[in-house]
């Protein structure tokens, strides 16, 4: 059962599992047996076998993000649902033995499956709002969860890289015209009045 300890191999089972462990950095992760207390239910705990840990614990992906960094959040925060976060798109290939198992558990799809995209908007339904219904809409937002290929993902990206990504996205968005045009608000350096107004207008969220 991966790195999940059972009653048979835990010396003191009377202690309750805490939500956060004492680990302060990924470099402190060493012995597989010490990663997860009994009762840990994350997919990382379920899918990370000792064999996978020993094979990859000292390796990095093509972006230079270590396997330990990708596992750290799930070991640190024991109430995580998944617990493993890819360092770059290469992580899914380099550490496929772990990520394939997690994706199979979470999505029900394995490496033998392929994603099928359909970008034809004509297939959408309920796209026209009656005027009386449209008047009720104050704001809408779209969350795009994608990453630029030349940059690591969240666990391995630096502040300088985050700023570079932001600048590239803003530069691209500044080319939008018509009803797609807008204004970019950086959180860094935002004054209180602007922050309050964006919250009141339902554009800024925690």
Residue 128, phi then psi, degrees to nearest 5: -105, 120
**In sequence order, which residues have a C-beta less than 8 Å from that of residue 164 and are 6 or more positions away?**
151
Q: What's the CA gap between 140 and 71, in Å, rounded? A: 34
pLDDT at 174 over 80: yes
Q: Tokens in use for 85? A: 């976060």
Return the pLDDT at 121: 81
The predicted-structure confidence for 44-88, as pLDDT tens digits, reads as follows 999 999 999 999 999 999 999 999 999 999 999 999 999 999 999
Return the pLDDT at 176: 93
Average pLDDT, the chain: 86
By percentage, how much of the chain surpasses pLDDT 70?
90
Residue 169, phi then psi, degrees to nearest 5: -65, -45
CB atoms within 10 A of CB 60: 20
Contact 102, 44 (CB under 8 A): yes
Return the pLDDT at 150: 86
Return the pLDDT at 54: 97
More confident residue, 51 or 111: 51
104 by DSSP, 3-state: which? helix
Q: Which residue has the tokens 């779209």?
A: 142
Return the pLDDT at 18: 53
Q: Tokens in use for 149? A: 């290929």
Ordered by start, the domain boundaries in the chain are: 7-107
Mean pLDDT of 117-142: 78
Mean pLDDT of 164-179: 92
From 173, 172, 166, select the one nearest 189 (Cα to Cα).
166
Return the pLDDT at 69: 96
Mean pLDDT of 31-37: 94
What superfamily does domain 7-107 belong to in CATH?
ATP:guanido phosphotransferase, N-terminal domain (1.10.135.10)
Q: What's the CA gap between 97 and 47, in Å, rounded? A: 9
Angstrom CA distances, 107 to 82, 92, 101, 123, stand at 12, 15, 10, 24
């Amino acid at each position: 059962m991966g790195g999940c300890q059972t009653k048979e191999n835990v010396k003191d089972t009377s202690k309750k599992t805490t939500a956060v462990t004492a680990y302060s950095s990924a470099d402190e992760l060493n012995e597989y047996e010490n990663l997860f207390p009994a009762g840990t239910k994350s997919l990382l705990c379920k899918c990370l076998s000792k064999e996978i840990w020993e094979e990859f614990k000292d390796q990095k992906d093509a972006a230079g993000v270590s396997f330990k960094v990708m596992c750290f959040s799930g070991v640190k925060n024991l109430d995580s649902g998944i617990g493993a976060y890819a360092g770059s798109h290469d992580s899914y290939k380099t550490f496929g033995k772990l990520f394939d198992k997690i994706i199979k558990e979470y999505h029900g799809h394995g490496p033998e499956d392929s994603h099928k995209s359909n970008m034809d908007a004509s297939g959408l339904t309920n796209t026209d709002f009656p005027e009386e219904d449209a008047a009720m809409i104050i704001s809408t937002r779209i969350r795009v969860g994608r990453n630029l290929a030349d940059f690591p993902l969240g666990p391995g990206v630096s502040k300088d890289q985050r700023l570079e990504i932001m600048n590239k996205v803003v530069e691209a968005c500044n080319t939008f015209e018509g009803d797609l045009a807008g204004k970019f608000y950086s959180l860094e350096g935002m004054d209180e009045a602007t922050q309050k107004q964006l919250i009141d207008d339902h554009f800024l969220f925690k």
